[in-house]
Chains A and B, each alone.
Chain A
Amino acid sequence: GIQVEQSPPDLILQEGANSTLRCNFSDSVNNLQWFHQNPWGQLINLFYIPSGTKQNGRLSATTVATERYSLLYISSSQTTDSGVYFCAVKDYGGSQGNLIFGKGTKLSVKP
């Protein structure tokens, strides 16, 4: 099955810094989503981005489907950005739509 790798596994930032999180996947995808898991465990949808670039406030994401990676950019980080960021993909294969998640990047933003 498709493999999803996220890097770095852990990231510590000072408030106000910028960061880039990466998601590599091993096969063609027709769905890629980024999530933020907050301290209460909720999964917050950030982006649905199987290809191209999107922006939402201080966050933006780019997926280069032909090269099998996606990047999540966080600018001017705030302490509320802390949590785990997951990338999840669905391949073009026979699965009925379930997402395969990476192991996540744990982000800690210090004041």
Chain B
Amino acid sequence: EPEVTQTPSHQVTQMGQEVILRCVPISNHLYFYWYRQILGQKVEFLVSFYNNEISEKSEIFDDQFSVERPDGSNFTLKIRSTKLEDSAMYFCASSGYRGDEQYFGPGTRLTVT
């Protein structure tokens, strides 16, 4: 069964450093998403991506964040200068069409020290 994959599973970085989280969505899906979950809290939407551009973003997704689909398979989330409060689990998801079931990856746990 096709699945969304994410790398790395855990990343530790120092405050102020740049990080890139990687995702490989399901191959025939058209919509891609990033969500995050701060420890003990609910999952929050960050950004959606369709047709090679951002289609929607939340208030959390400020200028420190960017997304890219550098090739036909990868979908990346970059945090330019990490802060302590960026420590969270980051989930990538994909769906075939808008409103369809979203399939989530296993997540990347980001720890900023």
Contact = CB atoms under 8 A, between A and B. Distances in A.
A97 interface: yes
B98 A35 contact: no
B44 A101 contact: yes
A40 B106 CA distance: 9
Contact of A96 (B50, B89, B100): B50
Interface of B: 31, 33, 35, 37, 41-45, 48, 50, 55-56, 58, 89, 91, 93, 95, 98-104, 106-107, 109
A48 B107 CA distance: 20
Given A98-B45, A98-B56, A43 B33 contact: no
B101 A101 contact: no
The interface residues of chain B, by DSSP majority, are classed as strand
Interface of A: 30-31, 33, 35, 40-43, 45, 48, 86, 88, 90, 95-104
A57 to B, nearest CB: 16
Contact of B102 (A33, A86, A103, A104): A33
Nearest to B55: A96
A30 B103 CA distance: 16
A33 B102 CA distance: 8
B99 A97 contact: yes
A86 B58 CA distance: 20
A43 B48 contact: no
Nearest to A102: B42
Contact of B95 (A95, A97, A100, A104): A97
B42 A48 contact: no
A97 to B, nearest CB: 4
Nearest to B91: A43
